Amino acid sequence: MESNCQNVGAASGSSAAGAFQMINSTYTADISGAVAYDPGITGSIVSGLGGQMDPATEAYAASYELRSDALLLQAKNVDDPTVLDVRAVYQFGAGVGPEVATADDSENIAQLTGLSAASLAANGLSSSSTVGQWRATVIAKLGSATANQSVLAQ
């Protein structure tokens, strides 16, 4: 979302890089998880943090993150999680992300998540932002069909 599908380097003060704009720690954990899940990809990925700037390699890490977050939502009884639901976990965390996925559009994100003003601003949100407004920004970036697509195969 943040990269507008461009393979861009990290901005000053952040390690978020590549087409999926994953920070170093998330990328490292997810690419390790992806390799453990399917050792067969080992030979086709760029090793180390250099993989962040290889879109195909980072896609494996991003896919693993999507899968992990969808499984977490299922464990919290959010059935058939969509890309929009998973984005809530990715953006707001495993603790409060599921709440965002089950909140009405009118709910205030700051009250729901407890995020500080600085954290909200870093996410392009303000103290008055609602869940519906956040959903609209994700849908505007991804398109409604993608945002509402199921993440896990049935």
Partner 1 sequence: MKAAIVLSSVVVLLAFSEAHGQPEGETVSGFQCVGINIPGLHLSQDDLRTGAGFPWMLDAPRDGAKAVGQVSGIIYIAWPPVVENGFLKTMAYDGKIGWLEQNAVRPLRRADGTTGGCSLRRRSDGRIMFHLEPGLGINN
Residues 82/151, Cβ–Cβ less than 8 Å:
yes
- Only segment of 1-9, 16-24, 32-40, 94-102 that touches partner 1 (CB under 8 A): 94-102
Q: Which residues contact 30 (CB under 8 A, 6 or more apart)?
A: 22, 61, 62, 64, 65, 68
Q: Among 7, 33, 67, 107, which residue interacts with partner 1 (rule: CB under 8 A)?
A: 107
Report the alpha-carbon angle 59-94-131, nearest 5.
Answer: 95
How many C-beta atoms surround the C-beta of residue 88 within 10 A?
A: 28
Q: Is 117 in the site for partner 1 (CB under 8 A)?
A: no
- Only segment of 3-11, 23-31, 51-59, 101-109 that touches partner 1 (CB under 8 A): 101-109
Structure tokens that stand for 68 in this block: 């992990």
Q: Is 59 in the site for partner 1 (CB under 8 A)?
A: no
The number of residues that bind partner 1 (CB under 8 A) is: 24
Q: How far apart are the first and last CA of the chain?
A: 25
Residue nearer to partner 1 on the CB measure, 5 or 122: 122
Judged by phi (left if over 0) then psi (alpha if -120 to 50, else beta), residue 124 lies in left
The least distance separating partner 1 from the CB of residue 101, rounded to whole angstroms, comes to: 8
Residue nearer to partner 1 on the CB measure, 38 or 105: 105
Residue nearer to partner 1 on the CB measure, 54 or 67: 67
Task: Tell me which residues touch partner 1 (CB under 8 A).
Answer: 72, 75-80, 93-96, 98-99, 102-108, 110-112, 114
